[in-house]
């Protein structure tokens, strides 16, 4: 019988691959329903909104997952709550900046691309605002040990996107953008509700400042943001440049030609998600054991400052495995000497992240 971890990893891979297939079908439906010209216009609108969303976005999800595992292993629930609140505030601030940049660009869309894209581009400014809480909800699911649920919501998001394109394409580019905004709001509300439930299953604690971890958290967020901007920007910026120098038909062909690259990138997505979650979980448990051993000094489990994680602690030897005593038994009629009580190690238990990944 397969372990739960095997099924969790398998369902994660299946969900990520299925979401990629639904995304490809969405592009096919858009081309067939809108036509090449209107599909090029839609590609320009989505590329412009996506470009400014990525530039203004703060990639805080990875930092929230990393420090979320750490605080869960330490059972520092005050900082744990403060971490997710700070992450949501940063995501909302980035979404507001991205939406403002898109709204400011909309009046100049005709001068840049020579087509009437002001209204659909202005409507697409709502996409960053609707998508902002999704990253923090996903981080809550990963810290809770349910990256398979995260993959399931990827499928739901792409299915809603496919339905929005199929319905909105009958009303043109503007109708498609409106349908995509509605689909994004529904998807974010769904995963946001599940993320709130996942956070509610952690013990409650009074919010506390991050303290010494504040500088490391900021540094991690900056590095993640810079790393996540460069790769997606190439395709989006290329689409905008092609639209500025050619007609929408060439933009449509350019986007279709990028489909194999997007498909190949999705092949390694399940491995990246699983390794990201389990590697951070393992490092958090190791850090907890290091701290519980007295700041790295070698100490026995019975003298440690606190109970360490049971995922790597050795079980104490049983009394049957101890060597027999060389002393002779007491003479008959005399009371037995008092036995020395040996200090027992603390009861074995798993830390929060390990118990959820078991």
DSSP assignment of 291-310 equals HHTTTT----GGGSSSPPBT
- Maximum distance among all alpha carbons in the chain? 110
**What confidence score (pLDDT) does residue 164 get?**
94
Closest to 123 in 3D by CA, of 200, 226, 49, 197:
49
pTM assigned to the model? 0.76
Q: How many Cα atoms occupy the beta-carbon half-sphere of 283 within 13 Å?
A: 10
Q: What is the pLDDT along the chain (358 residues), one digit of tens a residue?
A: 467 777 888 888 888 889 888 988 998 899 999 999 999 999 999 999 988 888 888 888 888 888 888 888 888 888 898 999 999 999 999 999 999 999 999 988 888 887 778 899 999 999 999 998 998 999 899 888 888 888 899 999 999 999 999 999 999 899 999 999 999 999 999 999 999 999 888 888 788 888 888 888 888 888 887 877 766 677 788 888 888 888 889 999 988 888 777 777 777 777 777 776 777 676 665 555 545 444 444 343 333 334 444 444 434 444 444 444 444 455 555 555 555 545 444 544 555 555 554 4
Please tell me the predicted confidence (pLDDT) of residue 313.
Answer: 41
Q: What pLDDT is attached to residue 324?
A: 47
Q: Given the structure tokens 């991690």, which residue do they identify?
A: 220
DSSP of 247-263: -HHHHHHHHHHTHHHHH
CA-to-CA dists, residue 55 to 98, 103, 127, angstroms: 7, 15, 14
User: Distance (Å, rounded) from C-alpha 318 to C-alpha 267?
Assistant: 49
By the 8 A CB rule, do 294 and 79 touch?
no
Please say whether the beta carbons of 157 and 138 come within 8 A: no
Whole-angstrom distance, CA of residue 295 vs CA of residue 86: 28
CB 16, CB 154: distance < 8 Å: yes
pLDDT of amino acid 278: 75
């Amino acid at each position: 019988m397969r372990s739960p971890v095997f099924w969790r990893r398998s369902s994660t891979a299946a969900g990520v691959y299925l979401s990629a297939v639904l995304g490809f079908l969405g592009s096919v439906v858009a081309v067939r329903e809108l036509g090449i010209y209107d599909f090029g216009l839609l590609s320009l609108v989505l590329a412009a909104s996506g470009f400014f969303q990525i530039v203004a976005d703060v990639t805080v999800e990875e930092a929230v997952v990393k420090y979320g595992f750490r605080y869960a292993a330490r059972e520092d629930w005050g900082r744990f709550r403060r971490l997710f609140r700070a992450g949501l505030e940063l995501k909302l601030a980035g979404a507001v900046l991205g939406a403002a940049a898109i709204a400011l660009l909309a009046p100049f869309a005709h001068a840049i691309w020579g087509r009437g894209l002001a209204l659909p581009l202005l409507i697409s400014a709502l996409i960053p605002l609707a998508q902002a809480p999704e990253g923090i909800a996903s981080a809550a699911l990963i810290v809770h040990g349910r990256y398979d649920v995260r993959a399931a919501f990827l499928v739901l998001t792409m299915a809603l996107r496919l339905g929005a394109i199929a319905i909105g394409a009958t009303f043109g580019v503007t109708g498609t953008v409106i349908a995509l905004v509605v689909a994004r709001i529904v998807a974010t509300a769904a995963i946001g509700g599940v993320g709130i439930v996942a956070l509610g299953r952690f013990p409650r604690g009074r919010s506390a400042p991050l303290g010494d971890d504040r500088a490391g958290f900021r540094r991690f967020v900056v590095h993640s943001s810079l790393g996540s901007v460069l790769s997606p920007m190439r395709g989006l910026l290329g689409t905008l440049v092609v639209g500025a120098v050619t007609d929408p038909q060439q933009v449509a062909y350019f986007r279709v030609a990028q489909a194999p690259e997007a498909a190949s990138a999705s092949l390694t997505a399940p491995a990246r998600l699983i390794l990201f979650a389990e590697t951070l979980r393992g490092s958090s448990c190791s850090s907890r054991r290091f701290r519980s051993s007295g700041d790295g000094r070698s100490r026995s489990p019975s003298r440690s400052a606190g109970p360490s994680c049971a995922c790597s602690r050795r079980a104490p030897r049983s009394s049957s495995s101890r060597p027999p005593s060389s002393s002779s038994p007491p003479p008959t009629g005399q009371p037995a000497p008092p036995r020395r009580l040996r200090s027992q190690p603390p009861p074995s238990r798993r830390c929060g992240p390990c118990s959820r990944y078991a």
